[in-house]
Each structure stands twice: as C-alpha cells, then as structure tokens.
Structure 1
C-alpha cells in the first residue's frame, strides 16, 4: 500500500496561527487615514512635519485618531491585561497616553519621509495602570504601499531592561553626586604609564627601587609626569584655588613641586612592593602659591589591580592642624615674648653637649639691666618691650648651630657649640654693637645688658662652665652699677622727655 502524505494546511492558516501565537505583541492596523491627512498637509504647503506637529499637539492627536485597529494577537491581550480585543479597543486611551505623543511624532516623520517602516521607544500602560516601557517596530506590509491600509506593528516589552537602565543611571548620578559634593578633595587618576615604567625596571633586573632612585632621582620626576588626571571634584577646585578643571589641570606643575618629591618617592616604593592602598602626609601648593599640608589616601580601584588604570586619591586638608602642631612645638621650645628658645630647650641642649664632650663650648650669660625699675616706673608693657628688644639683638647676633635662649625673667643665654675664645669674643663684641644700634632706633628707654662669656676647658663639665660664665656676668653687672653714670637711683632708664 502506498502511504498518503499528510495534508498541508493552507498558507493563510499558517499565517493566522503565527500571528495569534507569536511571543511578541502584534497589532494589525490601517494607516490609510494618516496617508490621506499627509496629502492634505502637503497640499497646504507643509514641508517640515516635525515642526508642524510640535507646534500644535492636537495635530498629533488627529493623526492618532486616523489609525484603525484591525486586530491584535493573544500576547497583546496578555501584555496589556485585556480580556479580549473589544476590551482593549474600548480602552485604548488608557494604553496610549501623553507619554506616547513625542515618540509618535518620530514614527510619523519617518513615514512622511517615505520610509516603509518605522521604530520608536516609548511608554504604554496596562489597563490596570502599570507602566510598560516598549520598543515599537512598524512596517507597511508588501502590496499595501500605495494605500497604507495594512501596517503590522510589533511591540517588545523592555520594561525590565529600562528599569535596570534607570537604576544604573540613578546609581551613577548618586555616585557622581557623592564624588562632586564630597567635603574631601577627590582625584581619579590613571597610573598605567607609571606601572609600565616600574615593570620595565623589573625586566632590567632592578630589585631595590629605593637604592635605584637614590642613584637615579630623575626617575621620580619621570614617573610624576606620567600620571594622567582623569577627573577631580568640586572641593578640589576650591582647595587648590582653581577657577575650573582646565585651570587646575593646565597648572599641575605649580601644585605638585618641591617637597612633593619625597613622599611621592615613598609612594612609588610602596607600589613597587605591592601596596596598592596607601596613606601618608604630603605637601602641595594652591595655584596662588599658598602651602597646603594634606593627608593623602591612595587606592587602586577594584578591578584595576593589574593595570592601575583607575586610581582614586583622596586629599584631606590638615594645614590648620599642622600649623597648630607647629605652634605647640614652637611653644614647647621657645619663649613666646622674645621668640628665643626657652629654658627647657637650653637645659636639654646643655645636657646633650655634656654627653658629647667632644668639642669646645662657649657660653655667654646675659642679664638685662634696669628691667625692674622700668616695670615699676613705666609699667610692664614697657618692660615687655625691653625684653623683646633684647630678644631681637641676641637673635641677630648668632646663627645655627649657635643659639640664644631666655632662661629667666631678665636672664638670657647664648650657647656657642664648637666656638673657641676667639669666636666667642667676636660674638660678644657683636652683641655689644647690636645693643648700641638698637638704642639708636629706640630713644625712649635705653637697652643695657650685663654679659659674661666663658669657654670650656678640656674635660670641664657644663655645670662648671655655667658657673664661670655666671660669675663673669655678675662682675660685669657690679661694674655697671658701680659706675656713677649708672647709679640705680638715677632715672636714665626711664623714658626720655
């Protein structure tokens, strides 16, 4: 028996089944009314349809009203929550709202320009009010190009994708906001070329970058110039006194200079040793030249550990703190009134010199003449002024490693490490000359000092040296007051009339 092949369904039936069972929303529509309306507008002289439609939204609605819905498939009913085609057609005003008008203009313009197909992205709504982000693709079916009475429209539901995109945009905006408005200076930089330079050194057999940079300090500058700044935040512009990003990025050489080379070298050494998160204190400069003390946090961002192509640098301004620390350190070693070193520093230095015992030391002890009388007769303001003048004289008389200190109310000391009798005599004579010069500029109250200078003998203790200098200073003071011209009872230390 010969088998009979199964009957092949008619093609039209196949088409109907494919339309009804397609996994995407399909709409069969009649656009002949739009074609007729376009003809009217062209006859009226309309050439720019987009401008014509955007000038009056009612014209867009007129186009929409000319579209006749012929049928939809099951996926369309499911997508929009309709029970049947009649239910959907009766509520199209809920599906297509104002959100769609702009995208509808794009579709109409494409057809106006002679295209047989069109596409757009817009928002529709389910009959229960749910938002649908959709991608629309439409095409005038073959054989209907002359009258547009058969147009197939496919709608893809891209709600999840668009929601993910919106969340990503919101997340990026949030991250950008955190970056831009951070109260800390933030830099995003590219260190790829720095890494390439370091990798090249390894290939050459270099093992110790610290030793290498001691021999080749120019390598540090080369690495500094290979850093690429990708972005900075607003606080960075404020911190560095820059008008805008271009102003800052065009003048980075003024910002990173001088003292920056030392911490940057340590940063390179840490990177060489695999430390991609670092913290340290650095010095930069504002574009107006002001010094900035900063706490730097450096981090190669996750995912870029192999290339160093994305690095974040956070800079916190610690200038005020450093100034406060410097002032506290100054107070710990200096006398506030005269700006000379204080007794604590003086004692520590004598103890240090005592331990060394390897060089000669000269010591000059100074006592201010007549300070009590000035305080009693003219007030402590005048006395403080006399002390400040004494500090100015002694500060000008010596340079490091020599130093002057205020060691009591009206008592001072000048310590001269390594100075012999000849050098000590020169310093003493210099102090006397500076006192005379100072008095020429301050005619109201004379500055007068009793001086005692002594130079250590081999093996002599600092205590013994201090006693000898003190004895010589008191001999000078007795001589001063023994002179009739400097009688304690005479008013020559009072302000001159």
Structure 2
C-alpha cells in the first residue's frame, strides 16, 4: 500500500507537470524598485517609463527566477533552468516597453495580480505569442518574495487573429478605395413588408403596385444604408457620409422610383442577385446614369439584412450613345433631321399615315454665290439660319429635314393643303424676321407644296412638291436677272 504524498510534494508535482508554463519568481526587488521611484516623486509610472524607456532594464533585472516547470523548458527549447536563465536576453528581447508598462501599471495601482499579452522568443528562434498572468502568492503580499507567473502559448490563436485583422483591413481598403461606388445596405424591413403582403393573400405584386404606388416609396424609405465608400461620396458630391445619408431622397427620385419598383418585383420573385441601368442624382441635382449590381449576401438570404450594391457611372457612355443617336438622325450643321431620317419617316408615313400627308420641298436661294463670294463659313451661317427658321416654324407637328447641300424638306402628317400653307406662311414670316436680326446676306427659301391622300401617292407628292419648288426658285432668279445654274 502506497503512502500519501505530503502537500508540499503534491505542489512540487503539480507545478512541474502543469500543462502551462509556470515560473516561480521573487519580485521583492521589483517592489523595492517601485518604492524607490515613488520616493523620487514618480506619480505616473506609465508616463515615467515612456519618458525614460531605458529604465525598463531595471525592472527586468529586479526579477529573480526561483523555479520553472518542464513545460517552460520545452516551450522555450531550453535544456535546463540554468540554460534558460543564462539566455533571458534572447527570450525577452526587442521592444519590451509596452509589456512592462502593462504589468507595472497594474501593480503600481495596488493590484496583487496582473495579466498581459506579449511576445517572447524560444531559444531555437521561434516567435511565441503568450498571455501572461502573474499573482503575488498569499502570505507574501508585503514582500513580493513569491510570485507565480503563468505563460499560455496562444501563438496559433494570435496569428489567426492577426490574419483575420489583416484580412478585414485589406477588405476595408478594397471597399474604401474601389473605383466603383459601393453601398452596404439592410433590406430586412423591405422583406418584412413583402412577407406581410403575402400573409395578406397578395399574389400579384405588379397589380398591387399599380393600385398602391405609394408602397414603392414606403419600401424605398425603409432601406437602411449601413456604409458607403469614398467613391460614392465623390460621385454624389457629398462632403461626408452623414451629408449623403441625410439627403437620400434627393439621390433616389423620379426615374429611380420606377426602377426600384422593378427591383421589388424581382425580389418578390426570389431574384436576390440583380443588375439593371438606373438614374440617380447628385446632391447638386445632376442626373447620373448608373449600371447597378445588387446582391443579397448568401448568409442573409433569410432576412436580407446584408446587401451589397455597386454603381458604375455610365453617364459619359449614355451621353456618347445619345450623341451618336443624334448624329444618326440629325444634320449637325442645322440641327434639323438628316436625309436618312427623312427617308425613313417618308417610308413610315407611306405605310401607316396618318392621312393626308403634306410635303413641302425647299431650297436655299443664293447659297453658291455666298460660298463663292464670302466663303463656306458665311454659307454655313446661312444654312444654320435656315435651320433656326424651319425648326421654329414646324416644331413638333412635323419633320423638318436637310436632305442635301441647300435642299430641305418638311413632312406634315395629318395635314391638308390649307394646314401646309399656314406652315409655309409661318416660314416666310420667320424668314423676314430672321433677316432683320442678321443684316448682310438675306435668307431666302424657295418652297413647293403637294399633298398625298394615301400611301400610294407619297412618292408622287414628293415629286410634285419638287416641281413646284423649282418653279418658285426659277421665278426668284428671273426676277433678279440671275442664272440659277450660276447661283
């Protein structure tokens, strides 16, 4: 039968076999050092050490190691305690100011224990992240002759934490400095509103929105913006996030309500990833054409609590497309429709009407003479004046086009001869007014009119209008004794 071990022997075994690094130390020298600093007038130990970082060595030198356990020797790759004590400068190295401050600040305030996260080094060079706990043992509170220090190796956890922090920092940098406008939003309130409609028996959201258009605005107001990046602030002209959040109603309005209604319909049908073109507005009121990509994050499909929305500014592209479309249908010099559009409109009217269709053929008198005598700049100015007159006279009721160098045509759907004559009189009146404002080269348009009563007569009407116009033009030159071929 074995004899029970004494309590002292039990302690020795527990200390030596403990699974954490244990250090039994004498800190009486530390206590004396702190008392000496206080006697010298030190009131704030942290400020003192930051002002005199070299004094940290005094703190380290005042600690006397009494005993360490097996786990300590294994952790620091030391053959024995003597080797460990002889190598302390290799274990506790680099910047020890912060760990010292963390420990001494607690003891300075009268605490009997301290804790701190720090870095040590094993004798084989390994970097060790350790969590230190120290406790002045009972019975030694007045002398600090016995302090038990434990070191928990949490290198793996610390490295994982640092990697997570670095990953989060990297993600934050990508978010903040993305060249695309990024919005983090919470759509959970919208999901609740839509779920409530289903519970009320609503199955056709499209019809419901037509009857209750105010529901779209209600949902729009329920969007909670969690965060935006710098590009967003720059794009919308906001000085900071608070300024943007306070004026979201100015950003999402008009056309945005229509596209948001489409977005709600997609969400209703379970499409949690969407993309579409939208129009938003800067805080200054300028329209922004955007390509929007919207995605409810996978781990929030159940509540829509996290949505990532990206906006790419396509305003320049839209302007370019609009300009190209304009060029495809307009004469750049006069601003009127071009020949391609005129032919297309003529064919459309021939197929669909409405009837009758009046055709006015026009020709700018004297353009060749102006070009020859005063140059093409003067001729272009005369053409622009003709465009101003025709645009104003015809307006949106018909199609005024430049179909050649000095040739123009007007198509008037649903207009009989009397209505067309009224337009021609308006052109003549505006022409005279224009000449009053532009002294020098007079603007003079020869005009001929014909009316088609059905599609089959359109081509003939164009030809008849040309003949009538040339007759007027001939009389114009005859009255001035000029040869048209030279003019």
TM-score by length of 1: 0.94
Partner of 1:65: 61
Q: 2-side partners of 1:375 and 1:242: how far apart?
A: 53
Partner of 1:348: 344
Q: CA deviation at 1:411?
A: 1.1
Secondary structure class of the residue paired with 1:482: helix
Q: 2-side partners of 1:459 and 1:348: how far apart?
A: 14
- Cα separation, partners in 2 of 1:241 and 1:17, compared to 1, 3 Å: same
Check if 1:320 corresponds to 2:316. yes
Matches within 5 A, 1:472-491: 472-483=468-479, 486-488=480-482
Partner of 2:149: 153
Q: Which moved more, 1:249-258 or 1:359-368?
A: 249-258
Listed one character per residue, the Cα deviations across residues 197-231 of structure 1 (whole Å, up to 9, x for unaligned) are 21111112222222222222221111111111111
Which of 386, 390, 393 is the aligned partner of 1:394? 390
Q: CA deviation at 1:470?
A: 1.9
Which of 79, 82, 86 is the aligned partner of 1:86? 82
Q: CA deviation at 1:460?
A: 5.3
Which of 165, 189, 203 is the aligned partner of 2:161? 165
Residues 350, 454 of structure 2: 8 Å contact kept = no
Check if 1:215 corresponds to 2:199. no
Q: 2-side partners of 1:479 and 1:489: how far apart?
A: 11
Residues 355, 453 of structure 2: 8 Å contact kept = no
Q: 1-side partners of 2:90 and 2:324: how far apart?
A: 74
Residues 103, 116 of structure 2: 8 Å contact kept = yes
Secondary structure class of the residue paired with 2:369: helix
Secondary structure class of the residue paired with 1:229: strand
Q: Which moved more, 1:431-440 or 1:55-64?
A: 55-64
Secondary structure class of the residue paired with 1:451: strand
Check if 1:249 corresponds to 2:236. no
Partner of 1:301: 297
Q: CA deviation at 1:87?
A: 0.6
Residues 32, 148 of structure 1: 8 Å contact kept = yes
Matches within 5 A, 1:206-285: 206-285=202-281
Residues 398, 427 of structure 1: 8 Å contact kept = yes
Check if 1:436 corresponds to 2:428. no
Residues 293, 310 of structure 2: 8 Å contact kept = yes
Check if 1:96 corresponds to 2:57. no
Residues 27, 145 of structure 2: 8 Å contact kept = yes
Check if 1:462 corresponds to 2:461. no
Partner of 2:327: 331
Matches within 5 A, 1:34-53: 34-53=30-49
Q: 2-side partners of 1:459 and 1:127: how far apart?
A: 100
Which of 171, 175, 178 is the aligned partner of 1:175? 171
TM-score by length of 2: 0.96
Q: Which segments of 5 or more consecutive residues in structure 2 lack a partner in the other structure? A: none
Which of 179, 185, 190 is the aligned partner of 1:189? 185
Q: CA deviation at 1:357?
A: 4.0
Residues 100, 124 of structure 1: 8 Å contact kept = no
Secondary structure class of the residue paired with 1:238: helix
Q: 2-side partners of 1:164 and 1:422: how far apart?
A: 87
Q: 2-side partners of 1:58 and 1:325: how far apart?
A: 70
> How many aligned positions are there?
485
Partner of 2:24: 28
CA RMSD of the aligned region, Å? 1.7
Listed one character per residue, the Cα deviations across residues 347-369 of structure 1 (whole Å, up to 9, x for unaligned) are 11111111114422122111111
Q: 2-side partners of 1:457 and 1:133: how far apart?
A: 95
Q: CA deviation at 1:288?
A: 2.6
Q: 2-side partners of 1:73 and 1:419: how far apart?
A: 108
Partner of 2:72: 76
Q: 1-side partners of 2:453 and 2:66: how far apart?
A: 120
Partner of 1:365: 361
Secondary structure class of the residue paired with 2:260: helix
Q: 1-side partners of 2:311 and 2:58: how far apart?
A: 60
Matches within 5 A, 1:194-209: 194-209=190-205
Residues 351, 455 of structure 2: 8 Å contact kept = no
Q: Which segments of 5 or more consecutive residues in structure 1 lack a partner in the other structure? A: none
Residues 99, 123 of structure 1: 8 Å contact kept = no
Residues 386, 447 of structure 1: 8 Å contact kept = yes
